[in-house]
Chains A and B, each alone.
Chain A
Amino acid sequence: MLKRRRAEALAAAMPPLLVAAERVASTVAQGVHGRRRVGPGDSFWQFRPYQPGDSTQRIDWRQTGKGQNVFIREHEWDAAQTAWLWRDGSASMDYSSATALPTKRERAEILLLALASLLSRAGERVALVGGGDPPAAGRVSLGRIAMTLERQPLADGLPPLADLPRSAELVLISDFLGPLPDIDRVVRFFAQRALHGHLLQVLDPAEIRLPFTGRVRFIGPEAEGETLVPRVESIRQAYLERLAAQQDGLAAIARSAGWSYGVHTTDRPPQTALLSLYTALGAPPRIQDRAGSPLC
């Protein structure tokens, strides 16, 4: 539960996050997004004269007493947005290049929980992709998500292709070091269901800079095999080029689906990544002209 507390402390610095209201239209659940029309909700919308068939309980007696007609109080229809969150739970995330740095998995989970906290404070409903629980709002759901994260076994490096409700927000946090076609397939699957998604790539500084020297045998944590590099210095440039190609590919995938894409390294404070997610979720869907936000 320490992780959850840290996540909430992180989220406390920002106002509650209201997912952009335009996406709300087709969702049916109640929430705080005013629909500018009459419906179930908390805030006052209008008075209208009583019509037969209306429940007498809905009569606003104070307004009725002011004049001759009997009035009914009507409220604005509120609707809540649903956000589906996912973080990579694979073995490759359990990596940190220095003892002072958190592992990628730890950082991803903190970001996810902070995001969930922000959303539930705004009354939005959050759920984990593949978590098994239906979307829910409030602190209880936050706790449930935290516990699910603790319990969840090491999962595959990609989110399950679950049949999610349409027009929800989807946040995927991973190191996205797997083959690009696999990632593309997943993004396409969700984009076809009209989900609006965000890709956040969490990387360790060592993965960005490859700071090693000498003769090193590298071992992949997910059975990718191992490779012996006689002099790491000599292949550093080639590696950086490959990493850039991977990130370009990711950005292209996100752009084609109209999603956003961001990169976060674990030696940077998590607030920057959270802020970029916050703005991405809070903003109206972008015109698809950007490859992704700059490194943050």
Chain B
Amino acid sequence: MLTLGPLVFAQPLYLTALAILPVIYWLLRVTPPAPRRMRFPATRLLMDLLAREETPARTPWWLLVLRLLLAAMVIVALARPLVNPSTDFPGSGPIILVVDNGWASAADWPARRTFMDGVVDRAERQGRRILVMATAHAPSGEPPQVSALLRPAEARAHLEALSPQPWATDRAAALAALDHLAVDGAAHAIWVADGLGDGAATELARRLQQLGSAEVVVANDDGPLLVKPPSLDGSALTVTVERLRATSERTVTVRALAADGRLLARQPALLGEEDLAGQALITLPAELRNEVARLDVEGHVSAGATALLDDRWRRRPVGLVSATAQTAAQPLLADTHYVQRALEPFSELRTGGILDLLDGGIAVLILPDVGQLNADETAAIEAFVAGGGVLVRFAGPLMAVHPDDLVPVRLRLGDRTLSGALSWTEPMPLAPFEPGTPFADLPVPPDVLIGRQVLAEPSLDLSDKTWARLLDGTPLVTAERRGGETGGWVVLVHVTAGPDWSNLPLSGLFVEMLRRMVALSGGLPAGAAAADAGALEPVATLDGFARLETPPPTVAPLLPEDLAQPTIGPAHPPGYYGSEDARRAVNLGSTIPALQPMDAMPGGVAVSGLRQTRELNLMPWLMAAALALMIADLVISLVLRRSMPLPLRMRTGAALAVVLAAWPGIDGARADDDFALTAANDTYLAYVITGDAAVDETSRAGLESLSLVLRSRTAVETAGALGVDIATDELAFFPLLYWPVTDAQAPLSGQTIDRLNAYLSFGGTIVFDTRDQGIGGGIGGGIGSINALRQLTAGLDIPELTPVPPEHVLTKAFYLMQDFPGRYAGGEVWVETTEEHINDGVSSVIIGSNDWAAAWATDAAGQPIYAVVPGGERQREMAYRFGVNLVMYALTGNYKADQVHVPAILERLGQ
């Protein structure tokens, strides 16, 4: 090894080859470059032409430098230069690599792998064998074992197969495995530890040290994270995240995932500079919250940082039977109001009738004093309770009079009044809750006083059924389990749910008690039958990287009594146990009380961080650079030999400039804007440009003069005529589109049809003029222009048509008229059949054949251009009047239609 500052040559002997560089230089200088080869017809004339001067051709100096550099690079690369090289391991015996592969090592496993690979690389360079030991139990349950003496390649394969396990390490077992180990020479042990302490950590380090020397490598961040199973806090899931060491302030992101992997929520949890634990509050709508199946920490994959959720974390819908209709009017007097206010923040509360609620699927039914239940309701509630539901009843005057069977204890008829005008007794406070009841640890506020209650008949099991008592021992809350072990509870609170009988509903205790009672159902898996049947079979288990997988065959069923505190290990990895329907989550987080750091290491054992500067091998980079230079040299040689033309770039540039200059976008957009401004600033009568110059000119002249007529006779102020290209121009500006039909028009493209359909559906009107005096046989015929029209309008949304009826608005929009002559008289005019109230009753299509534009058209002097047939000024005047009516109709819609009723209205008013 040759060391030059941070640079080390692993094979320095190769550097001696640098001495041959001058030889290469001399050879390159002497050998001239190969001549260009050129095919030349006049070669005969060149034959034996003797040159007058002969200078030896030389390789250009820069090419010489390039080639020498190339040779030098290859030589230096062969010497294997290393940056930041690692030092040698002490000792001469094997390297012992001890790997903690418990759950805590999963999060930074890639970094551990990199480190271990580095160890193997160094061992290889020193020619030392390797022993590998993983400290966690294998999935098959085997305790940690030391591998055989491995060559580096074998060790790499061995490490490749190693993966973190979802349980903790067992260093005591590892220690036992080391007991029988004998090594030749002084071994060097490297322990890649996860930083978690157990009793045997120090002992293990000491044992390793005895084999030669030892060093411990621990991740120098704040260690593995542990996610505790969340607690249900009302509507929120409170997730606690713990860490091993508090090194700095840190924010971790807790994710809530659904069973199918959907991300439901992300919430940061802040771990202060001193804090070992932080909390994330995940608030979700009830439906989404019930879908949460898994909580983990973003970017920190390990079984410990993952909490699986099961039905226990589901919010149970609570059904509240609303008593009577009058409750809504006086909420403060209604019993349900207090229950509602107490439960709303924590549960999904539904109100309604008993049967409706039970049908909708609820976990808890709260029944205030609603009077007698009928047989159906009683049966339904009994079935509900037998199926695991919880019934919470409140007493009241009605129950006192009509006791029924749906109570945990037999009740005396009537109630007991502790305070009243004719009573000696005072309202009574509660006795402290007895252990063993659901309310066991709740504090009893002294100001809760019970004024009236219903009384239970004394019986042998009364005290077993009593969850709360008054100070004098009379039961206040009694409960009974119905339907055996799997059944639900019937709970009776002996006072009303309102403040009539006591001030309990006004106290915070009421809220707590209700929550406990609701939680009764939460504590029960929906199908708790599995728990009864005995051991819980594994359903799905987590692997070391917190992936849910099919349980390996080595996983044993979990006994129900172990469910609370299971021993996580190869036999019981974290995961789901039970059956598919009723599964219980077993979490690593709940079995670990707190994360313990490793004890201090014995003296002489070096402790270092995991992330060390990795040595960098420069050989591949240098080789790649040499290859690039070689390619460059090849290209240069070719160019020198054959004068490769390189004018391509210039040509490409010129072509690009041409393309840019010809780009049509900018001018087109400006033209569009001009058109839109013109058309939108005034009302124009628009005609379709057909492409036939004579027809277009007639249309323009006709609409111009019609526009004049409109201005002089009506309040309509049109600015004139505007030709429209239906394929490209925006049509939305025009209320009316005059479309003379010619035979020569090409069928419409699909895009144009879409535009026209949009125009028609948004209130536009198109006037088709076949200009053939109806000789095509009208709409029903199939000759000439009608045929052209039919082909032209194929694809348009043309409604059902009818000849203009006598009462149509077109006949009276401005002038009263019954026929609509243009240049020709007598052609029928067709409009939409149904005068519906869409589009204000204006027909979207008007079809005629009288060539109106020709009748309207005048030249510059105001003289008509075309003679009308059969003739007469009267016909031309009628044509103008039709034009006025048409524009009025298109602009004003059906308001003239209302005039139909005016005579009748006037007549009625006159009476």
Contacts and interface: CB of A to CB of B under 8 A. Distances in A.
Contacts of B57: 214-215, 230
Contacts of A218: 38-40, 43, 46
Interface in B52-74: 52-55, 57
B681 to A, nearest CB: 55
B694 interface: no
A163 interface: no
A246 interface: yes
B40 A231 contact: no
Contact of B46 (A93, A221, A229): A229
A230 B36 contact: no
B53 A212 contact: no
B419 to A, nearest CB: 118
Top-9 shortest CB links A-B: A220-B43, A92-B41, A215-B35, A234-B51, A218-B40, A217-B35, A235-B49, A242-B45, A224-B44
Contacts of A204: 41
Contact of B40 (A215, A220, A243): A220
B42 A243 contact: yes
A219 B43 contact: yes
Interface in A191-246: 204, 206-207, 212, 214-222, 224-231, 234-235, 238-239, 242-243, 246
B38 A175 contact: no
A95 interface: yes
B47 A229 contact: no
Given A216-B38, A218-B40, A227 B47 contact: yes
B38 A217 contact: yes
B44 to A, nearest CB: 5
Contacts of A179: 44
B32 interface: yes
Contacts of A226: 43
A229 B52 CA distance: 11
13 contacts: A93-B41, A216-B35, A217-B36, A217-B38, A220-B41, A221-B41, A227-B47, A231-B51, A231-B53, A234-B51, A234-B54, A235-B51, A242-B45
Interface residues of A, number: 36
Main secondary structure of the interface of A (DSSP, over half): mixed
A216 B46 CA distance: 12
B38 A212 contact: yes
A177 interface: yes
A227 B43 contact: yes
Given A225-B47, A229-B46, A242-B49, A95 B41 contact: yes
Interface in B15-47: 32-33, 35-47
Contacts of A219: 37-40, 43
Contact of A230 (B37, B41, B47, B54): B54
Given A216-B35, A217-B38, A219-B40, A227 B48 contact: yes
Main secondary structure of the interface of B (DSSP, over half): loop
Nearest to B640: A214
A266 to B, nearest CB: 12
A225 B43 contact: yes
Contact of A228 (B35, B40, B52, B55): B35
Contacts of B33: 215
Contacts of A214: 35-36, 57
B37 A217 contact: yes
Nearest to A179: B44
Nearest to A104: B41
A52 B39 CA distance: 74
B41 A177 contact: yes
A238 B40 CA distance: 16
Interface string A114-151: 00000000000000000000000000000000000000
A220 B42 CA distance: 7
B39 to A, nearest CB: 5
Contacts of A217: 35-38
A229 B51 contact: yes
Contacts of A177: 41-42, 44-45
A241 B35 CA distance: 25
Contact of A207 (B37, B42, B50, B54): B42
Contacts of A229: 46, 49, 51
Nearest to A246: B45
A216 B48 CA distance: 14
Given A226-B43, A235-B50, 18 more contacts: A93-B41, A177-B45, A214-B35, A214-B57, A215-B57, A216-B35, A216-B36, A216-B38, A219-B37, A220-B39, A220-B40, A220-B44, A224-B44, A225-B47, A227-B47, A227-B48, A230-B55, A234-B52
A203 B46 CA distance: 16
A175 B41 contact: yes
Nearest to B37: A217
A225 B32 CA distance: 23
Contacts of B42: 177, 207, 239, 243
A235 B53 CA distance: 9
A175 B40 CA distance: 12
Interface in A150-189: 175, 177-179
A69 B741 CA distance: 75
B704 to A, nearest CB: 51
Name, among B35, B47, B48, B49, the residue most crowded by chain A CB atoms within 10 Å (CB to CB).
Answer: B49
Nearest to A215: B35
Nearest to A237: B52
Contacts of B50: 235, 238
Contacts of B47: 224-225, 227
A215 to B, nearest CB: 4
B36 A215 contact: yes
Name, among A104, A225, A234, the residue most crowded by chain B CB atoms within 10 Å (CB to CB).
Answer: A234
Nearest to A238: B49
Name, among B32, B41, B47, B49, the residue most crowded by chain A CB atoms within 10 Å (CB to CB).
Answer: B41
A221 B39 CA distance: 6
A207 B42 CA distance: 7
A215 B45 contact: no
A66 B571 CA distance: 140
A283 B47 CA distance: 40
Given A204-B41, A218-B38, A221-B39, A227 B46 contact: yes
A100 B50 CA distance: 32
Contacts of A230: 51, 54-55, 57
A235 to B, nearest CB: 5
Nearest to B647: A99
A203 to B, nearest CB: 8
A269 B510 CA distance: 111
A43 B55 CA distance: 75
B39 A239 contact: no
Interface string A86-98: 0000001101000
A246 B53 CA distance: 25
A218 B45 CA distance: 11
Contacts of B48: 227
Nearest to A97: B40
B441 to A, nearest CB: 98
B596 to A, nearest CB: 82
B38 A239 contact: no
B36 A224 contact: no
A230 B32 CA distance: 11
A29 to B, nearest CB: 38
Name, among B39, B42, B52, the residue most crowded by chain A CB atoms within 10 Å (CB to CB).
Answer: B42
A159 to B, nearest CB: 18
A16 to B, nearest CB: 34
A178 B43 CA distance: 10
Name, among A178, A216, A246, the residue most crowded by chain B CB atoms within 10 Å (CB to CB).
Answer: A216
Contacts of B32: 215
A178 B44 CA distance: 8
A223 to B, nearest CB: 10
B687 to A, nearest CB: 47
Contacts of A216: 35-38
Contacts of A231: 51, 53-55
A239 B35 contact: no
B45 A239 contact: yes
A65 B361 CA distance: 131
